[in-house]
Structure 1
Amino acid sequence: MARSFQALIPRLRLHAGLTLLLYVTTHLLNHAWGIFGLAALESSRRVFLSFWRHPAVFWVVPASLLIHVLLVSYKLLTITSWRRLHWNEWLQIGLGLIMPLLITSHIYATRFATILYGIRDTYSYVLLSQATIAVDLYLMLVVVWLHGNLGLMAYLWHKPWFARIKQPLLIAQIVIPLLALVGIVVAHREVNQLKQDPQWLEQVWQFANPQNIDVAAATAEFMGWFGSGYLALLLGLGGGRAIILRLRRKHYLISVEYKGIATVTIAPGTSLLEASLANGIPHAHSCGGRGRCSTCRIEIIEGVKALNPPTETELRLLKRFGASGDIRLACQTIPTAACVVRPLLHHHDRSLPGAPTMISHGADKQIVIMFADLRGFTTLSEGKLPYDTVFILNQYFQSMGQVIEANGGYLDKFIGDGIMALFGLDGTLEQACHNALAAAQAMAYQLDVLNQRLEHDVNEPLRMGIGIHCGHVIVGDLGYKRAKHLTAIGDAVNIAARLEEATKTLQTQLVVSRAVMQHSALDLHNLALSEIPIRGRTQPLEIYSIESAKSLVLVPLTLNT
């Protein structure tokens, strides 16, 4: 029973938080109607209240707030190490601690004023009765909005489909509060003009506050008591947490051996990830220990029965990559007795230049892959000293590498006299396709510049072939020790390499798959579509064969998708 409740806590906290975020979203959209005037704002309010103050829904928001606060407090009380928290989690916690003061003041002055004093909290009355209400109201909603969206992004980040909605979601997260601010400001200005009319002023007061109750004074008095109680509660929780952890460490410790690394002792209730971080043992954890990725997974060498059983969430993740029974997620694993473990994934203290850190442990992404190769370089290098060959290749790699990076590409590897580059590790597929084609065009121009620079070092101008394709691949850090780096594997990578090879037989500089062209903003009027067989595939691939990448007509990309 206790185990099932522990598994239920994150879900309850999440659903309560999502309910509150939905409430705030509709509240902000309500404010945005103020752009069209006070009358539109009041009409929108009636729709808003018809739902949220319906008898069947009235207590959903207070109940969600209570559940969310209690479960977050429980989480903060039971966490044994703060080192695993990322900066965004610290920000979310800080905003969460401020929220009760802002929300309680607003709820008392509106919802509970309606219950206790019969106040009708119309926008006309609220904006009229409180001089700083526009600032206070917006500050409260933005704090709650930011707190909720930080949690939402953390929850969605490791979903395989998140990349498709990331940009529209980010736009909505910025636009909605801005529209709400404009709506409140416009309505506040209209109220300031209307209050010059004594008759309008009297009508508002008689409708909203016929008993002429000083709600502002009542709210201030209530918040004085609430603020003191809230501060005492925070101090009590902080002190209680310190006492509990001290007693745990004093009376009962559990030994955890990290095979070949160190042996540490931890207090009961400490997860293996918390144990690693508290004792300075490097341990990968992309999602911050929420059980939403599998980067903190460990091998249990001894003491499988001394661990808490895996939750449904952990079992679902372990099943995705076919883990055996001795593999667990460190963030979800709490020892009850001595055990021996070994972390399975390499921990990165630094991010790779030009590569997003969140995908370094593995992700399924739709990206663009480019292969570029020098033509006839073996013949060109015959008779040259090794130093001359290395010099020419490094000049080529430097020139092309700078162009690729300038167009948003990530240099995966140099293979002999060839280059593999990835586009779209972050951002949309449309942007990645556009960037890859822009890079190919710039590489063609840069090759002309390089040939002028090397005209006395080579017998004939350097030539190259470029193949570009897009598709789903597995992206992550592969290799061993210093040879480990971010790369991509999958069928799309192989096809891109085949397209680069096809430039030899087609006698063109660039071969691009139709899939890339469809997602780009390229003018295709003067390009002919054709098909070529691809080794290892039964169906031919539709491609565009372009004699010179310099001839591409790139249309400026609009980012409104």
Structure 2
Amino acid sequence: MASLDGSRRFQQLRTISGLVLFAYVLSHMLNHSLGLVSLEAMDRWRGILSWQFGGAWIVLLVAALVHIGHALWSLYDRRVMRMPAWQFMQLLLGLSIPFLLIEHVLGTRAVAELYGVNPSYTSVQLTYWRLAPHLGILQSIVMVISWVHGCMGLHFWLRLRSGYRAVAPGLFTLAVLIPTLALLGFLVSGRILLMETADGEAVARILEAARVPGPTTSVFVNDTSLIFRYAFAALIAVTLLARGVRGLLSSRFGTVTLTYVDGPTVTMLPGASILEMSRAYGIPHASVCGGRGRCSTCRVSVGHGRELLPPPSSAEQRVLTRIGAGRDVRLACQVRPRHSVSIRPLMPPASTPEISLRPSSHLEGQEQEIVILFADLRGFTTLSEARLPYDVVFVLNRYFEVVGQAVETHNGHIDKFIGDGMMALFGIDGDPARAAGDALAAARAIADSITQLNRDLEHDLPYPLRVAIGVHSGTVILGEMGYGRARSFTAIGDPVNTTSRLEQIAKDNDVELVVSREVEARAGVDLGDHPLQFVPVRGRRAALEVRLVRLASSLGRTPAASPLTVPPNPA
């Protein structure tokens, strides 16, 4: 466990170093964008935006060494080279940056420290646009690569934060705008410099102002760049060779098997995590964060061999505690079994960051009291028979839109759309009393929305749309159910079937809403102005008491129903 915690701290250092480097790239690009103003503006702000102050270059050097060191360690630590495409691209871009950037670093910072050169934007642009144009192209490429690499890292780090989705569009706009302005500034200032240095005297003045000691610095930059590239390539090769040697040595140990419940049994690679084994054998396995222990989407339920696993590290335990995981639940990316185990993945392979924040019990299945709402259009089949398919789809989508908005506005969860019907759940996060009030408020909002929709479509429909709604509460089983991409969060149990029956009763009695007395009591409202009926329900010995509400929009508008507070309809 100590080694895992140490790995976690090393990963935190990687994150910090990455943020430092990204901050530098960002400010450097802002400095480049000032080229749209003038070369003088670029030089005026160079000290701050290009971090030409104090020991800032030492901070950058340490951050770069830590970041590169972590990349090489991650490459060595992998037992399986299969990884998501985005992760492979991020790794490839990151390893290419030192090869491409070394000449720029040596030609600016190194020569300044070793030879007393005073590189300005004017002298650097002179090199890139007149003396060595190929270096200008190389610098533009590495600038874009560094930016893309940094943005990918930030995206896959921040997307696990709950508020990231709201600001993501704005950040994406900045991610495109900033390098565009930087490249334009580089281009405009370079063209200006070419016009100003048309004669040799202007070039000589710039080189003299920069204190360039002749060809000595060029020889130093070229020779040192070549040595660095060979050395870095050798370092990568040694890392890959060390992986191979480790694999040969570890193969001498006994065979360990990994059994997937309702799936294959595979031979474990020594030292590999459960997630790496899934990738090695092409078994679909969710992992939003790429196997870095930041999310919980790779979680598994461990059966046989659970007691032989090493205890969770502090980092893994934090994630498991956050989702309220049971004792059998572990993170597949953090567990490296040394004995044979059997596991069952708990998340659908196509999981999202939002799903990773759900409590573990929702995925494993749990009993919970909730409120269910069924809504269905009356007579829509007859209406659709006389209309073109496009018109049917258009009307249905408008209906689903207003009904969905009514449910979500009142804290409901849309379970599924079935034909021209909809099932919604209220109270999946607890508090049945509030759930009952929310469901009744949603029923009224649905009725109001249908009324407004009929006004909007009065010239397109032969007769108005009519809705039948059933609302009931009870204890159901909640969980992720289904197969493959059809897997979703849903509820099953007798209360669900009963609610569907109430919706049919609404149609049979020509009313908009049928509410069970259980929901009425939970919500703390009095619907005494509406008829009471006892209806038989299959599977129940006693008849179910329900209220027949002719117009759902009347809820909360009569004196008897005044305790029901219904927010204004969003439609």
Retained in 2: the 8 A contact 1:362–1:477?
A: no
Distance in 1 between the 2:255 and 2:59 partners?
42
Give the aligned CA root-mean-square deviation in angstroms: 4.3
Tell me, yes or no, if structure 1 residue 543 matches structure 2 residue 543: no
* Matched residue SS, 1:33: helix
Structure 1: segments with no counterpart, 5+ residues: 349-355, 365-370, 382-386, 423-435, 453-460, 468-475, 490-502, 506-529, 547-561
Contact 1:531 1:543 in 2 (8 A): no
CA contact (8 A) 1:533 1:541 kept: no
Partner of 1:332 in structure 2? 334
CA contact (8 A) 1:373 1:464 kept: no
Residue 287 of structure 2 is matched in structure 1 by 285
Match of 1:310 in 2: 312
Query: What does the per-residue CA deviation read over 1:525-551, in whole Å, with 9 as the maximum and x for residues that have no partner?
Result: xxxxx99579999773442587xxxxx
SS in 2 for 1:331: coil
Distance between the aligned counterparts of 1:393 and 1:317, measured in 2?
Answer: 53
Residue 115, structure 1, aligned to residue 125, structure 2? no
8 Å contact kept, 1:374–1:417: yes
What is the CA–CA distance in structure 1 between the aligned matches of 2:148 and 2:563, rounded to whole Å? 50
| TM superposition shift of 1:47 | 2.3
Q: Do the aligned partners of residues 182 and 532 (structure 1) sit closer, same or farther apart at CA in structure 2, a change above 3 Å counting?
A: farther
CA-CA distance at 1:156 after TM superposition: 0.9
Q: Does 1:87 align with 2:85?
A: yes
SS state at 1:291 partner: coil
* 1:43 partnered with 2:44: yes
State the one-letter code of the partner of 1:54.
G
1:152-177: CA deviation from partner (whole Å, max 9, x where unpaired): 11111111111122112111111111
> In structure 1, how many angstroms separate the alpha carbons of the residues matched to 2:26 and 2:14?
18
Match of residue 461 from structure 2:
451
Give the direction of change, closer, same or farther, for the CA distance of 1:69–1:22 in structure 2 (3 Å limit).
same
Distance 1:136 1:441, change over 3 A: farther
Q: Which residue of 2 aligns with 1:54?
A: 54
Displacement of 1:307 after TM fit?
A: 2.4
Q: Which has the larger radius of gyration?
A: 2
* Aligned partner of 2:170 among 164, 168, 171: 168
**In the alignment, which residue of structure 2 is the partner of 1:208?**
210
- 1:34 deviates by 1.1
Q: What is residue 75 of structure 2 aligned with on the other side?
A: 76
The AA in structure 1 aligned to 2:117 is I
Q: Secondary structure at the match of 1:54?
A: coil
Aligned mate of 1:153, from 146, 152, 155: 155
For residue 413 of structure 1, the aligned residue among 416, 430, 442 is: 416
Q: Residue 134 of structure 1 contacts residue 188 of structure 1 at CA under 8 Å; is this kept in 2?
A: no
TM-score by length of structure 2 reads: 0.69
Residue 12 of structure 1 corresponds to 13
Asked if the contact 1:35/1:182 (under 8 Å) is kept, the reply is yes
Following superposition, the deviation at residue 404 of structure 1 comes to: 7.6
Give the TM-score, by structure 1 length. 0.70
- From 298, 301, 305, the counterpart of 1:299: 301
Q: Distance in 2 between matches of 1:222 and 1:293?
A: 42
Gaps (5+ residues) in structure 2? 360-372, 406-413, 426-445, 470-477, 492-510, 514-553
Letter in 1 for 2:172: L
Match of 2:104 among 103, 106, 112: 106
| Pairwise CA distance, 1:65 | 0.8
| Change in 2 beyond 3 A, CA 1:545/1:166 | closer
Are 2:270 and 2:338, in contact at CA under 8 Å, matched by a contact in 1?
Answer: yes
- Alignment-mate amino acid for residue 296 of structure 1: C
Number of positions where the alignment pairs a residue of Structure 1 with one of Structure 2: 456
Moved more, 62-71 or 239-248: 239-248
- Correspondence for 1:227: 229
How many Å apart are 1:480 and its aligned residue? Answer: 3.6
Give the direction of change, closer, same or farther, for the CA distance of 1:115–1:390 in structure 2 (3 Å limit). Answer: same
Structure-2 change in CA distance of 1:284 and 1:211 (3 Å): closer
Cα deviation per residue 1:114-159 (whole Å; 9 max; x = unaligned)? Answer: 1111111101111112332442222111111111111111111111
Alignment partners' CA distance in 1, 2:457 and 2:14: 57
2:278 to 276, 279, 284: 276
- Pick closer, same or farther for the CA change 1:483–1:266 going to 2, 3 Å: closer
Asked whether the 8 Å contact 2:144–2:179 carries over to 1, the reply is yes
Give me the whole-angstrom Cα distance separating, in 2, the residues matched to 1:229 and 1:328: 40
Q: Contact (CA 8 Å) 1:117, 1:213: kept in 2 or not?
A: no
- Give the equivalent residue in structure 2 for 1:31: 32
Counterpart residue number, 2:364 = none
Query: Aligned in 2, Cα 1:405/1:144: closer, same or farther, shift over 3 Å?
Result: farther
Q: Within 2, Cα distance between the matches of 1:345 and 1:96?
A: 30
1:168-226 deviation digits (Å, cap 9, x = unpaired):
21111111111111111111112112213655433321121242244334322222222
Identity %: 26
Matched position secondary structure for 2:461:
helix
Q: Provide the rounded CA distance (Å) in 1 between the counterparts of 2:331 and 2:218.
A: 51
Structure 1 window deviating more from structure 2 (389-398 vs 338-347): it is 389-398
Q: For residues 494-552 of structure 1, what are the alpha-carbon distances to aligned partners after superposition, in whole Å with 9 as ceiling and x for unaligned?
A: xxxxxxxxx969xxxxxxxxxxxxxxxxxxxxxxxx99579999773442587xxxxxx
For residues 248 and 404 of structure 1, what CA distance do their matches in structure 2 show? 61
Whole-angstrom CA distance in 1 between matches of 2:490 and 2:45 = 50
Counterpart residue number, 2:66 = 67
Spell out, residue by residue over 1:254-274, the C-alpha distance to the aligned partner (whole angstroms, 9 max, x if none): 233334533322233211111
Does the aligned pair in 2 maintain the 1:296–1:345 contact within 8 Å? yes
